[in-house]
Amino acid sequence: MKLRFGFIGLGAMGFSHVNSIQRLCGDKAEVAAFCDTNTANLKNALAAAPAAKVFRKAEDLIASPLDAIFVSTPNFTHAMLATDILAAGKHLFLEKPCGITSEECHRVLAASKSSKRWLMLGHELRYSPFFQRMKDLVATGAVGAPHMVWTREFRGPFQKKVGDWIQDDRRKKGE
């Protein structure tokens, strides 16, 4: 029996998760459900997984028969969705950040502990092939034992977000 995954939010990150499950875990997992308010994102995801059921409301997807849910929505929605998903008895892959205030983060952690379900926070660089290769070079002794590491990420402006939420400070961090 395959694990049944749902996906809330199908922008660049959400769609990459859909593709990863399809490509890397298709023998063990099923992309079973989608929820997004953007019609183009839904169409794109359905092209990758045509058998997935489409939900217009996150709460309907959460209530459906799934094993786990990926959340790749705007930051300010993470804590609410996470607590609802964990309360529904589903495992959760939650894109960073966990919440936009420390109170939200603590609430999600408490919900995870009481649900006895897995909560995994997505941190893209942790799984990057580039950083995995650096880890392997250190582990094999190819570069010696590091004593200090400094890194800086250089990338251009963020991709356009639904409703321009990333430009709204009230929605990026707690005030």
Per-residue pLDDT tens over the stretch 66-116: 999 999 999 999 999 999 999 999 999 999 889 999 999 999 999 999 998
77 Cβ neighbours under 8 A, 6+ residues apart? 71
Q: How many domains does the chain have?
A: 1
Mean pLDDT within 8-27: 92
Residue ranges in the chain assigned as alpha helix (H): 12-25, 39-48, 58-63, 78-87, 102-115, 129-139, 169-172
Task: Tell whether 16 is covered by a domain.
Answer: yes
Placement of tokens 């379900």 in the chain: 117
Residue 134: predicted pLDDT = 84
**Which of the two residues, 110 and 126, has the higher pLDDT score?**
110
Task: Tell whether 163 is covered by a domain.
Answer: no
- Amino acid in position 24: L
Placement of tokens 């290769």 in the chain: 133
Task: Tell whether 21 is covered by a domain.
Answer: yes
CA angle at 42 for the pair 79 and 51, rounded to the nearest 5°: 105
Residue 166: predicted pLDDT = 56
User: Is the pLDDT reported for residue 173 higher than 60?
Assistant: no
93 three-class SS:
strand
Task: Tell whether 33 is covered by a domain.
Answer: yes
The CATH code of the domain that includes 64 is: 3.40.50.720
Task: Tell whether 175 is covered by a domain.
Answer: no
Cα-flanking dihedrals φ and ψ of residue 11, to 5°? -70, -155
**Which of the two residues, 109 and 168, has the higher pLDDT score?**
109
**Contact yes or no for 50/58 (Cβ under 8 A):** no
Q: How far is CA 147 from CA 132, 135, 150, in A?
A: 18, 14, 10
Mean pLDDT within 141-160: 74
Measure the CA–CA gap between 150 and 166, rounded to whole angstroms. 27
| b/e burial code for range 67-106 (CB count within 10 A of at least 16 → b) | bbbbbbbbbbbbbebbbbbbebebbbbbbebbbbeeebbe
Domain that holds residue 60: 3-125
Task: Tell whether 105 is covered by a domain.
Answer: yes
Sign of CA dihedral 94, 97, 101, 105: positive
